[in-house]
Amino acid sequence: SVPLLQAARKRNSLNLLELSEAELEEQFVRGDGPGGQATNKTNNCVVLKHVPSGIVVKCHQTRSAEKNRKIAREILQEKVDLFYKGEDSDVFKEKKALEKQKQEKKRRAKENLERKKLFKEMQQLDKE
């Protein structure tokens, strides 16, 4: 089973719950990680909290505070949707479908590898 809040961040979901700005608390903090002076001197990391659910999102993907605000809202919207809808959420269904595709691809790759192995063994026997 996929942990619900980890399934968030899929962009093709359309039926998400709307967030009102009154329910959000927003802070700008210094980001962390690599980047040296560019990271250490600017407060462009966005911390967004959805007060009713208590879900917090931290976004520091770009150097632009505005872009980070937009991305943080998208991520938070998806996480809130998952929180309230659970397995009925489009985000969760999309994540499950992608996981299924990935497993199918692995299975096919494994079958192809076995076929190649058998083919090489047959060639070795023919040479002897």
Give residue-wise pLDDT tens across range 27-55. Answer: 998 887 777 777 777 888 999 999 999 99
At the topology level of CATH, where does 21-86 sit? Double Stranded RNA Binding Domain (3.30.160)
Average pLDDT over residues 52-81: 91
Give the pLDDT confidence score for residue 33 in this predicted structure: 74
User: What are the helix (H) ranges across the chain?
Assistant: 37-40, 65-85, 90-127
Going edge to edge, which strands form the sheet with 24-29?
A: 24-29, 45-50, 55-59
Burial class (CB in 10 A: 0-12, 13-18, 19+), 106: exposed
Name the residue ranges covered by the structural domains of the chain. Answer: 21-86, 89-127
Residue 1 has pLDDT above 50, yes or no: no
Overall pTM surpassing 0.75 (yes/no): no
Give the pLDDT confidence score for residue 109 in this predicted structure: 96
Tell me the C-alpha distance between 83 and 28, whole Å: 24
3-state secondary structure of 48: strand
Give the pLDDT confidence score for residue 83 in this predicted structure: 87
